Amino acid sequence: MRRCFSAQSIVTFAVLGLVALSCAPSQAQFFRGGAVGGVSIDAQGVLTAPEVGENEQLMKAWQKGLKPVPADLQAYTDMRYVSLKRLEQQVAKAFATGEAIPEEVAFLAGMLRVEYVFVYPEQGDVVLAGPAEGWKVDRLGNAVGATTNRPVLMLEDLVTALRANRVSGGPVISCSIDPTEEGLRRSQQVAARFSAATSSTAAGRAMEEALGPQVITVTGVPATSHFARTIVAADFRMKRLAMNFEPAPIDGMPSYLHIAGTNTDAFPRWWLAANYEPVLQDPKGLAWQLRGQGVKCMTETDFVDAQGRRTRSGKASRGAQKWADLLTQRFDELANEDSAFGQLRNVMDLSVVAALLEKEGLLEHVGLSMPALMTTYELQEYPAPREVASQASFLNKRGKRIVTASGGVQLSPWRVAENLQQTDRLTPARDQAMAKAGGAWWWQ
């Protein structure tokens, strides 16, 4: 913790790079203009906040572009099944006829999470199963469940996860939004010149200018993909809540600044990581169950010297840890109210499924090749997020301290897929799933 300046007046500053990103699947006939999921992004990857009212306009435009949800997909169900073999056939058929991929395919039949993976060597198929319902568009432009408001799984993200996990040993999928070393050095110099006479507004503007643009980095998946936008959006939302840029959408979750008070760290770092219980596996390796809420928040405090060089402490302050624990405890509630968090969990689920398929050789075991999904399908490309301006906020607290948050999202799906626990209780669920199948690509 560094003392940036002292004064008799009472102000705490939070300086943070901001980016909110989200988009609809490439096949849906949606509005694709400047404001996407709470931010505008230009061709150079520079991110800015949309004008007031643009989110509402975006939601209405996308909702208008949606076709009516098929009646048999509308109602909520605890268990809907999607055949990867027949999903591949649906996508290949669309390519062969030159037609757009149907929205029910793009939204994976409205599945909200993947809970089970069932393997059927006799049928040459692998089936995904989990809760599902019809969909609508929320204020961020995400397709969410009509009654649950939880984001639906997207074919676009499944394809990205499948391809990313072909890397030997599995990918490390991550994003981060961080100030530059030069920006941190300038901010230290500027902060040293503040005095009791410096107004909070002037200090905030000076810090924003000194820090300059913050750098957005994505690894493991294409930076131009919807998957990448999803993890960056979750990072953005986490930091906005932590730094008090806006209130949490649920009661009883104050910002980090409110929790820490005058004991704020100068350079806290938070990141979102996988949070699964051991994956259940039947003795024959034909049924798998994902368990746990999927996401947790972790934290560590960084030290920054006068030259702007950051050093990780390996420790977390009491306030930063308390806020991280609170987000983890309330994650399910947050995901139900803020689709950025729900979408993050969805792509983590899909990444773990893809890791199981690759690590365990499940597709080869059933003789299933998916050329349409693995090769032919072209991921929609969007301008890659590269940088975002710093913004400052402040609370009236005793003592002045500059606070700049960094962090991101980190996922190693193979580590989750390697943490297994055998059980006999999955066999009945697997048998029941295929008994209901019929000839459709999805069923329930």
Out of 193-197, 370-374, 379-383, pick the least confident.
193-197
CB-CB contact of 208 with 14 (8 Å): no
Q: Is the dihedral of CA 127, 130, 134, 137 positive or negative?
A: negative
Dmax of the chain from CA atoms? 77
Note the pLDDT of residue 407.
81
Note the pLDDT of residue 396.
58
Q: Is residue 313 over pLDDT 80?
A: no
Specify the higher pLDDT residue, 27 or 250: 250
Q: Is residue 399 over pLDDT 70?
A: no
Give me the residue label for tokens 């947790």.
296
Q: What is the mean pLDDT of residues 188-198?
A: 84
Note the pLDDT of residue 398.
53
Q: What is the mean pLDDT of residues 267-280?
A: 93
For residue 169, the tally of other CB atoms under 10 A from its CB is: 8
How confident is residue 56, by pLDDT bands cut at 50, 70 and 90?
low
Q: Is residue 54 over pLDDT 70?
A: no
Note the pLDDT of residue 57.
61
Out of 225-229, 257-261, 356-360, 419-423, pick the least confident.
257-261
Q: What is the DSSP letter of 128?
A: E
- pLDDT digits over 10-48, tens only? 344 445 544 333 333 333 333 333 445 455 667 778 766
C-alpha to C-alpha distances, 27 to 24, 59, 95, 107, 242, nearest whole angstrom: 8, 17, 12, 10, 35
pTM listed for this prediction: 0.90
Q: Is residue 195 over pLDDT 90?
A: no
Give me the residue label for tokens 């005095």.
195
Note the pLDDT of residue 142.
87
The whole-angstrom distance between residue 361's C-alpha and the CA centroid of its chain comes to: 27
Highest mean pLDDT among 29-33, 159-163, 176-180, 381-385: 159-163
Mean pLDDT, rounded, of the chain:
85
Specify the higher pLDDT residue, 401 or 295: 295
- pLDDT digits over 57-80, tens only? 666 666 666 788 999 999 999 999
The whole-angstrom distance between residue 115's C-alpha and the CA centroid of its chain comes to: 18
Specify the higher pLDDT residue, 338 or 16: 338
Note the pLDDT of residue 39.
56
Out of 108-112, 257-261, 440-444, pick the least confident.
257-261
Query: What percent of the chain is modeled with pLDDT above 70?
Result: 82
Coil, strand, or helix at residue 305? coil
Note the pLDDT of residue 194.
83
Specify the higher pLDDT residue, 92 or 63: 92
How confident is residue 425, by pLDDT bands cut at 50, 70 and 90?
very high
How confident is residue 1, by pLDDT bands cut at 50, 70 and 90?
very low
Spell out where 254-340 has E strands. Answer: 268-275, 279-281, 287-289, 294-304, 310-312
Give the Cα separation of 103 and 152 in Å (integer).
12
Note the pLDDT of residue 262.
66
Query: What percent of the chain is modeled with pLDDT above 90?
Result: 58
- How many Cα neighbours within 13 Å face the side chain of 275? 19
CB-CB contact of 149 with 103 (8 Å): no
Note the pLDDT of residue 239.
87
How confident is residue 122, by pLDDT bands cut at 50, 70 and 90?
very high
End-to-end CA distance of the chain: 55
Task: Name the helix (H) or strand (E) containing 181.
Answer: helix 181-192
Q: What is the mean pLDDT of residues 369-395?
A: 88
Note the pLDDT of residue 8.
30
Q: What is the mean pLDDT of residues 215-221?
A: 95
Spell out where 38-182 has E strands. Answer: 39-41, 46-48, 77-83, 116-120, 125-132, 135-137, 143-145, 173-178
